Each structure stands twice: as C-alpha cells, then as structure tokens.
Amino acid sequence: MSTITPDILRQWRHEFHRHPETAFEEQRTSARIAEILDARGIEMVTGLGGGTGVVAWVDGCRGSGSAIGLRADIDALDVTEANAFAHASRTPGKMHACGHDGHTTMLLGAAWALADNPDFAGRVYFIFQPAEENEGGGRVMVEEGLFERFPMEAVYGVHNWPGLAVGEAAVHETAVMAAFDVFTVKLSGYGCHAAMPHLGKDVVLAACQLVSQLQGIVSRETPAHQTAVLSVTQFHAGDAYNVMPETVELCGTVRCFDPELRHYIEARFRQAIASLATFHGLEASIDYQSRYPATFNTPAHANRCAEVLEAMPDIRQVHRDMPPSMASEDFAFMLQQCPGAYIWLGNGKDSAALHNPHYDFNDELTPLGVAYWTTLVRTLLG
C-alpha cells in the first residue's frame, strides 16, 4: 500500500506554487524537497547544482541491478501571477508559470510510492534540478559530475503540456525541443540633429535593415525541410523627436534543431552585422550566447516510454507524431551525456499556455505523473 494520496500531492503542489523561487535561488523549495524525502526515510544528497539541487535514491527489494534517473525541474519564472486562487504566488513578480511545482510534486510522489513498495531490482535516482529556465541548472549538474557520482544507465524527464487533455501523452522518437541561443547587438554611429541626418551616421536605419536581413537567413538560406526561428524581441534607440540617436541595441533569440544549421546561422548572423556596419560606417558589438542544445531522445528509450504509457489504464492516447516544440529545455545537457527520453503529459485542453500569467499546473495530472514514473521504473527495472 502506498502512503501517497491525491490529497497529499495537492497539498505539496499548492505549497510549492505559493512559494515560487527562480534560478539557483530555490532555497525554500530545496529545503522542502529534502524535508519531504526525509519524512519517508529516503536517502539523498543536497546542495548540488550550485546549491539547491537534490539527488535522492531508492533501492529495489529484488536485489541489485542497473540504475536509472528520473528528473524534475524545481524553479519558477519572473512572471506576475494573474490567478486569484488560494494557492497563488505570495512572492510578487515570481510565479510557477511552467508547472515545475507539479513536476517536483510528481517526482516526490514517485519517490514515496517506490519507497513504500520497492518491488524492482536496482536503484532509482530522483534528480531535483534547479534553474531550468534560462540559466541551465541541468548543465551545472552535469558539469558537477551528476553521472559520475550517481552512475545510471538512462535518464528520463517529463513536462506537462497545455493543449493536450489530461490522460493524453506525446512521445518523440528523436527531437523534442529546439536549441536555444540569445543575442545582443549594439550598433554605434554618430548622433546629430534629426533635420540634418547627413551630418551623422544613422543607427536606426541600419538596425531596421538588419532586422529584415536577419530574417533572410531563415527564410532564404535555411533549407525548407529544416526548421529555424530567429526573433528580434527588443529594439532600443533614442529618446527625442529631433535627435538622431548615437546607439541602438537589438536583442533576440534563435531556435533550431540541427547543430550544423545552428553554427551556420550564427556565422551568417555575424557576417550580416559586420558587412552592414562597414556599409553604414558603424561600430558593432555582438554578444551571441549558445544557451541550450536541442533535446534529442534516444529512439529505443523513447519507444519504451511510449509502450509504458500505452499500457497504463489512465492514459487514453499517446501521440507519436506531434511536431517538436521550438521552445527549449536544459534536460538536453543530461541527454547529451546519458541515453533516455523526455515526454509530454497533457495538462488539459483548456490549460493556459506555459509562461502565461493565468497558467496553473493541473492537479488531476499529478497522480497520473506519479503512476507514469512508478510504472516506468517497475517496467524498466522489473
């Protein structure tokens, strides 16, 4: 018998939701995770991944065997919550708008359920990872020696997915999430009176040309069967009607899957700016950061996950043909080092989108997520 109930899961989830913490500052969250694991006598190491990561483990009662890892992200976002329910964020400007409160709860539930009933062989590691959003806590854990310190033969991840009903899942055989790069470009010219632009060097005109030129890298140079997105998301210049500004700053993001295409886009991006700066007589500085690689499942592991889901009574449909998302995921760093798979579980057809201020993780999904984790463990380590 498991001591875990939907009510307990709901309480845990609501508590995490009330107290969102962002990248590498998940002190309270991390302490609560350790407290919940400790209450069930589960062994763990804390202080990982820059300080707030936790790795716990449960050994099966059927003897030794291989080890697998299950991972949850624990961080929140810099979003002001628009929900008014009792478990809404109590920290102004921060919110669990991506459902990592739910992921954390599902993994804690699985740890308890497997500790209650460890009818498998080998070991399960429960990886609670900080800073999934933007800051790459997954990379930090890998660089810190996650797989050397806790050797495992495969690692698995889950993300809730708005738009899919609870009871639906999606499994991708290879690419699931895109690579994620960000850029800041600063063009410096020569400011002057707006009535006499010939006396200056116009950074606004140059920046406008740059925005359209950059779109050509995706629309004209990327093969039509490949996928890439380049979005300029910030454009800052000037503060008067009659002054040509001296500088302009553009920021944005690039997403794609193919590593060669990723390098090509960056190279062409740099060329476009260099030649534009020469033509207009401007100084250009480029800060181009490769943040996350694309997330690729290992086909064999993805197929096992799909089989497990298809055999679960509460899973009505497993989508095998959904296109990958152009959003990104730092679980990619773990999958670069260790085979495994990252799947989506439906958060409800009417769920607000991820990162939306009205979003909330669906409590109906939590027991299903626990069941997925425990079924996966019992199947793989049976």
Residue nearest to Zn ion (CB): 98
Pick between residue 227 and residue 295 the one whose CB is nearest to Zn ion. Answer: 295
* 355 marked as part of a ligand binding site: yes
* Surface-to-core class of residue 29, CB atoms within 10 Å of its CB (0-12 exposed, 13-18 middle, 19+ buried): buried
Which residue among the candidates 26, 75, 329, 363 is catalytic per the annotation? Answer: 75
Pick between residue 134 and residue 298 the one whose CB is nearest to Zn ion. Answer: 134
Pick between residue 42 and residue 98 the one whose CB is nearest to Zn ion. Answer: 98
Q: How far is the CB of 334 from Zn ion (least distance, A)?
A: 14
Q: How far apart are CA 53 and CA 58, in angstroms?
A: 17
- Residues 37 and 72: beta-carbon distance below 8 Å: no
Q: How far is the CB of 201 from Zn ion (least distance, A)?
A: 40
Which residue among the candidates 26, 59, 101, 132 is catalytic per the annotation? Answer: 132
Is 221 an active-site residue?
A: no
Checking DSSP bridges between strand 154-161 and strand 340-346, what pairing results, if any? Answer: parallel
Report which of 230, 199, 13 is spatially closest to residue 101, judged by C-alpha positions: 13
Is 132 an active-site residue?
A: yes
Report which of 289, 370, 360 is spatially closest to residue 328, judged by C-alpha positions: 289
* 225 marked as part of a ligand binding site: no
Q: How far apart are CA 371 and CA 374, in angstroms?
A: 5
> Which residues would be at the binding site for Zn ion (CB under 5 A)?
98
Pick between residue 20 and residue 60 the one whose CB is nearest to Zn ion. Answer: 20
Q: How far is the CB of 339 from Zn ion (least distance, A)?
A: 22
* 98 marked as part of a ligand binding site: yes
Q: How far apart are CA 95 and CA 37, in angstroms?
A: 24
Cβ burial 243-254 (10 Å sphere, 16+ → b, else e) = ebbbbbbbbbbb
- Residues 266 and 300: beta-carbon distance below 8 Å: no
Q: How far is the CB of 98 from Zn ion (least distance, A)?
A: 3
Looking at the annotation, which residues are catalytic?
75, 132
Point out the annotated binding site. Answer: 98, 100, 133, 159, 355
Point out the annotated binding site for Mn(2+). Answer: 98, 100, 133, 159, 355
